[in-house]
Structure 1
């Protein structure tokens, strides 16, 4: 693994498992994760993963927060999130779908295009389903698996795409029903959505509000007002959250020195990075690493 990169989990990591069926390197469907290389240290996921445990339990870290998944819990883990498996029971099994970013784009479904759901799932990556909702998704799982296994069918990928498109909207609908307030997306929220996407793509090298404002053809003052009105938080706070999360993940890995992390996040020196980290967490990078 390249020294300055976090370990990533993608479909190529699980391709050798005979109990998992694939369509190219785009989609995987399975019912057991015993052979999936979920790492003991934080790793970035390059996939969109839907999971419903039917037996057993698992305790998983998502963006360094602990979540406990049990029977009938629906988990939706989004691309670029940080995951870590802390523990699971021997009988942990259920319904699993994994889609590459490219495949998500091919089926024309982008969670970040639905801001209210994106923000909700970001802080609530799991929800508990009714028995009827579980049954509905189990039917998709069964039918999809049957079609994926049919390798003689020249149209199996197109069939899978359309079934998955329907499944994704079923899942969106479930999460949408849990939103505290339903309302139409305003222009302000559209700008906020665009800002979040830009931050997720550029935070490792750009931390200034002016950079994002320029990309959105706004003044920094206007962008700051829009972001605060849409989210109750400043643009700088959203940028800092991404930077600090990345720093924490790298500090929890023994692969990187503090200097290397400072360099990767484009800080002028280790001392400046240390002050920035302490300002936002209340502890130095070394203290956090020892936690």
Structure 2
């Protein structure tokens, strides 16, 4: 097996791209020890068979993907296993977390439709024949290889990745987008998207329930069924993750962070943060500033 892996990792974009050559019977599992460095958070994989054919699966489910076809899946990327069915099989993989979609300035309707597919917990897959997506993926790789030393390269990389996402959307729209998503999944998708845009200002489940024209109880039940977490737990997760990032940057005072996250004062923010993390904001920040012991 021959594998070449590259990673884009900056403030606006994070994905992993690899070219893999396999001989018949050789296997590739998308985990760190195979050098692809697929992250635990990665929940989307776009796999393009450039030549040959493969058997790809997760658990007991197996699908054959032949030359010129693209395999797209949601769910944990690290659980995928690829087996070459032909000699000299070449594939290109792009793995990423769907959170990256929010950095692309996609239209709201398009983003909502994407999340109806990507956020489904059923580990769906999609196979399609398309010649253009390989050309776009090759362009993305070229830009990624040259993404050093030029201040405009980060913007070029973002544009190239966006083009690849549009090409992927084109495949999904053919068969999946807007095709009888369950009402619960659609509600979950709408809630998640709305939460992503409003969590700093709106901390109550009732706000999102009112906007989605359902009761708080019904919304919480649906979110629990779809994600395993309650609506309030997801809201708390967004707020605390943002608070951690702001505390780590050490640019704002704790009072300023409390105001930015729409808490009435620093005391209420401190109690909220400590209830969830076990540390006060001050102790959390101080622990980050402690010298590392080798």
- TM-score, normalising length from structure 2? 0.51
Inter-CA distance 223–279: structure 2 relative to 1 (3 Å threshold): same
Moved more, 228-237 or 242-251: 228-237
Find the counterpart in structure 2 of residue 115 from structure 1: 116
The whole-number CA distance in structure 2 between the counterparts of 1:211 and 1:171 is 32
The whole-number CA distance in structure 1 between the counterparts of 2:15 and 2:173 is 11
Map 1:104-143; keep pairs closer than 5 Å. 104-105=106-107, 109-110=110-111, 113-118=114-119, 138-142=134-138
> Greater Rg, structure 1 or structure 2?
2
Inter-CA distance 244–164: structure 2 relative to 1 (3 Å threshold): closer
Count of residues in Structure 1 that have an aligned counterpart in Structure 2: 196
Structure 1 spans left out of the alignment, 5+ residues: 1-30, 83-98, 125-132, 147-159, 177-182
Structure 2 spans left out of the alignment, 5+ residues: 21-34, 43-77, 79-90, 124-128, 143-160, 289-294
2:224 maps to 1:223: no
What is the CA distance between 1:79 and its match in structure 2? 5.4
Find the counterpart in structure 1 of residue 73 from structure 2: none
Inter-CA distance 59–229: structure 2 relative to 1 (3 Å threshold): closer
Inter-CA distance 114–77: structure 2 relative to 1 (3 Å threshold): closer
Aligned residues of 1:210 and 1:220 also touching (Cα < 8 A): yes
What is the CA distance between 1:32 and its match in structure 2? 8.0
- TM-score, normalising length from structure 1? 0.51
Find the counterpart in structure 1 of residue 252 from structure 2: 256
Inter-CA distance 145–74: structure 2 relative to 1 (3 Å threshold): closer
Aligned residues of 2:120 and 2:185 also touching (Cα < 8 A): no
What SS does structure 2 have at the residue aligned with 1:110?
helix
Inter-CA distance 187–259: structure 2 relative to 1 (3 Å threshold): same
Map 1:88-167; keep pairs closer than 5 Å. 100-101=104-105, 104-105=106-107, 109-110=110-111, 113-118=114-119, 138-142=134-138, 165-167=166-168
Find the counterpart in structure 2 of residue 284 from structure 1: 280
1:38-76: per-residue Cα shift (whole Å, max 9, x none)? 3xxxx4x3x6x654045987898979xxxx9xx966332
What is the CA distance between 1:257 and its match in structure 2? 1.2
